A and B are shown apart, each in its own frame.
Chain A
Amino acid sequence: MREAVPYAQETSFIGAPYLPGETERARDIVLRLERVSLRYRLPNERLSSFKEYAIRRLQGRVRWVDVSALRDIELTVRRGDVLGIIGRNGSGKSSLLRLVAGVLRPTSGRVWLKGWPVSPLLEIGAGFHTDLTGRENVYLNATLLGHPKKVIDKRFNEIVRFAELAEVIDAPLRTYSTGMMMRLGFAVATAWDPTILLVDEVLAVGDEAFQVKCGARINSFRERGVTVLLVSHDLSLVRTLCSRAIWLDAGSIRAAGSPDEVADLYHTAVTAGAVADSLDAGTR
C-alpha cells in the first residue's frame, strides 16, 4: 500500500512521515486516512426556512452545489505522534478533525482509527449546564464523551481531586469562576487517557497560565503515548509541541513533514500571498 500514497501533483512532500532519525519500523498506527474526500451538498443559497424551501422547490429554483472540503487526503498517524495541522481558514482543518471524531463520514475514502470514541478537548463550558452542580455536570459531561456511569463512578474522586474542587463539587456550576469551570472540563476530558486527543486551538481560550498548563499536559500525553491532533494558527506552538505537521490548503495536503519545515513553507507562502494581495489591492 505504501506506493499508493498520493502526495501527488500539487503536494510537495518533504521528509519522511516520521520523526527525523527514526527508523522506519512498523510503529503501531492509530489513525489512517485513505484517499479521504469530503463534500458537502449545499443549496446555492442558504435556505434555512422551510417556507422558503417549499416555495423555491415549487418554483423549481433550488439548485445545489457541491462544496469540496477535503480532497484525497492520505495520512498515517502513529502512537505518540503529535500532529500539527496548519492552514488558512476554510482549508479543511476543522473538517479533518470532524472526520477523525466520527462526527462526519467521508464522502469517499476511508477513515480508520483506534481508540473510539475519540475525545476532543472542548471549549470551556461546552456540554455543561450552569444550573446543575459540579457533580451532576461531571456525570453529564463524561457520559457525553461516551463513558458509562459505572466507569465514571470509579474515576469520580480522582477527577474532583485533579480539578481541586472537592469543597464546591455540590454547588451549582453558576457559582464557579471561569477558571474553576475550565479545570473541571479539563479534568473530565483528560480523566481517561485517550488514544487520540483532538485539540482545536481556536477553541482553547484562556489565559497564558492555562495555555502553559495545556502545553505541559499535551507533552505529558505525548510521553505516555497518547496521540494528539492539534489544529493551530500559532506556528510557534506547532514548532514546539508537535512531532509532525501537515499543511492543508484548499482541502488538500500541500506539505507534510517535520513541524519546522512545514511551518517555514507555510510561513513563506502566507507572507508571499499577503504581499501579493496587498500589491493587488494597491494597483486597483
Chain B
Amino acid sequence: MVDPLAISLTHVGPSALVGEAGGLNAQLSAGENVYDSARRELPLRHEFLEALRYRDLVLQLVARDVRTRYKRSVLGVGWTMLSPLLMMVVLSVVFSHLFRGDTPHYPVYVLSALLLWNFFAQSTTSAMTNLVWGGPLLTRIYVPKAVFAISAIGTGLVNLAFALVPLAAIMIATGVPLSPSLLWLPVPVVLTAGFALGVGLLISTLAVSFRDIIEVYQLILTALYFLTPVMYPVSVIPVQDRWWMQLNPGYYFIEAFREPIWAGRGPAPETIAAATVISLVTLAVGWIVFSGRADNMAARI
C-alpha cells in the first residue's frame, strides 16, 4: 500500500536540520515515517489519505459495533430485524385503513421506507456520538477523525443488510413480487450512505463544540420523520402543498429506495438525479468542513 508519509521521507525539510545533523536523511531507517507539522497538505486530501491508511481501523470499529450490539442482546441479530417489524405492524394497524385506496401492500410500503430511515437516523447519530465518546482517547493518540463517521456509516450498512432479510419475508408473505427491479437497490443505498456521511460529518463538527447538538439533532430527526413520506403516501398531501416535500432531501432517497421494492420498478430518473446531486454536494461540504477543523478537534473534545 502506498503510504503518504513514507513518500514524504524524500523531501524532509532540509533547512532547519542541516546544521546539526548533516547526515540526517541518510540515517533514516526503513519504516520510520516522518511527521512534520510545517508540511501542510490540503486538509481534505490529507484527511482522505489518512482515513484510507487507517482503513483497518474502520473495519475494526464496524466489527466492534456489530459484535457488541449482538452480543449484548439475548435476541442477537434478530433484534435489528425485529424492531422495524414491530414498528411496521403498529403503523399498519393504525394507518392501513386510512391509506387503503392509495397504497396497496401498505406493510411493505412503510417497512421499506422505515429501514432506510433507520439507517440514516442511526448512522448519522452514531457518527456524532462515536466522535464525542472517542474524545478522551483522541486527546492522547492521533487518529484521523473521519474514521469515526465512516465506521458509523459502515455499521449502519451492515444493520441495513441484516434488516433486508425480514423485509424479503414480508414481501413474500404479503404477495409483493420480488422483481428484477430490486437490482436497483445498491444505487439508492450508496447515495443515501454518501448523504448520511456528509450529514454525519457536519453534525460531528458541531457536536465537538456543542454537546447539546446530539439532542437538538434528535428533535430535527423527529420533525423530518413526519415531513418525509415514510408512513404516508405522497398522495395524501394536497397537490398545491407538495412543493415543500420536494425541498426535503429525504424524499428523494426514500423514493429511490422504495420504488424498486414496493412498486417493482426502477426509480424515476429525476429522483435518482436529485438524490445524486444532494448526496455528492452534502458529502463534499461535510468533508471540507470536517477535515478543515479536524486538526484541532482534540483541543475542544
Residues of A196-238 contacting chain B, CB below 8 A? 200
Q: How far apart sit A28 and B29, CA to CA, in the bound complex (Å)?
A: 11
Decide yes or no: A49 and B35 within 8 Å by CB, A98-B298, A103-B298, A143-B60 being known contacts: no
Contact B210 A50, beta carbon cutoff 8 Å: yes
Contacts of A132 in B (CB 8 A): 64, 67-68, 71
Residue of B18, B67, B213, B216 near A136 (CB, 8 A) is: B67
Residue of B1, B56, B67 near A131 (CB, 8 A) is: B67
In addition to A40-B299, A48-B210, A111-B37, 13 A-B residue pairs with Cβ atoms within 8 Å of each other are A1-B18, A28-B24, A29-B20, A50-B209, A53-B209, A104-B298, A104-B299, A118-B35, A129-B64, A139-B60, A144-B60, A144-B141, A172-B71
B53 to A: closest C-beta gap in Å: 8
12 A-B pairs in the complex with CB atoms less than 8 angstroms apart: A51-B216, A102-B37, A103-B141, A106-B37, A110-B13, A111-B37, A120-B140, A122-B140, A132-B68, A140-B60, A143-B59, A195-B32
Decide yes or no: A144 and B56 within 8 Å by CB, A32-B16, A116-B5 being known contacts: no
Residues of B within 8 Å of A, CB-based: how many?
Answer: 54
The answer to the question of A12 belonging to the interface, with a C-beta cut-off of 8 Å to chain B, is no
Q: How far apart sit A102 and B39, CA to CA, in the bound complex (Å)?
A: 13
Could you give, for residues 99-121 of chain A, a 1 whenever the CB lies within 8 Å of some chain B CB and a 0 otherwise?
10111111001111111111110
Contact A131 B68, beta carbon cutoff 8 Å: yes
Residue of B16, B38, B141 ringed by the most chain A CB atoms within 10 A: B141
Contact A1 B16, beta carbon cutoff 8 Å: yes
Residue of A40, A115, A144 near B137 (CB, 8 A) is: A144
Could you give, for residues 47-61 of chain B, a 1 whenever the CB lies within 8 Å of some chain A CB and a 0 otherwise?
000000110110111
The answer to the question of B138 belonging to the interface, with a C-beta cut-off of 8 Å to chain A, is yes
Contacts of B218 in A (CB 8 A): none
Residues of A108-158 contacting chain B, CB below 8 A? 109-120, 122, 126-127, 129, 131-132, 136, 139-140, 143-149
Contact B36 A112, beta carbon cutoff 8 Å: yes
Q: How far apart sit A49 and B214, CA to CA, in the bound complex (Å)?
A: 10
Residue of B33, B60, B140 near A126 (CB, 8 A) is: B140
Residues of A147-203 contacting chain B, CB below 8 A? 147-149, 172, 195, 200
Contact A149 B36, beta carbon cutoff 8 Å: no
Residue of B33, B68, B212 near A115 (CB, 8 A) is: B33
The answer to the question of B139 belonging to the interface, with a C-beta cut-off of 8 Å to chain A, is yes
The answer to the question of B161 belonging to the interface, with a C-beta cut-off of 8 Å to chain A, is no
Contact B56 A26, beta carbon cutoff 8 Å: no
Chain B: residues with CB nearer than 8 A to chain A? 1, 5, 12-13, 16-24, 27-28, 32-38, 53-54, 56-57, 59-61, 63-64, 67-68, 71-72, 136-143, 206, 209-213, 216, 295-296, 298-299
The answer to the question of A284 belonging to the interface, with a C-beta cut-off of 8 Å to chain B, is no
Contacts of A122 in B (CB 8 A): 137, 140-141
The answer to the question of A44 belonging to the interface, with a C-beta cut-off of 8 Å to chain B, is no
Contacts of B298 in A (CB 8 A): 98, 103-104
Q: How far apart sit A27 and B34, CA to CA, in the bound complex (Å)?
A: 17
The answer to the question of A260 belonging to the interface, with a C-beta cut-off of 8 Å to chain B, is no
Residue of B13, B32, B213 near A112 (CB, 8 A) is: B13
CB-nearest residue of chain B relative to A26? Answer: B21
Contacts of B33 in A (CB 8 A): 114-117
The answer to the question of A61 belonging to the interface, with a C-beta cut-off of 8 Å to chain B, is no
Q: How far apart sit A74 and B102, CA to CA, in the bound complex (Å)?
A: 74
Residue of A26, A48, A136 near B22 (CB, 8 A) is: A26
Contact B35 A113, beta carbon cutoff 8 Å: yes
Residue of B16, B17, B21, B142 near A101 (CB, 8 A) is: B142
Contact A29 B140, beta carbon cutoff 8 Å: no
B92 to A: closest C-beta gap in Å: 35
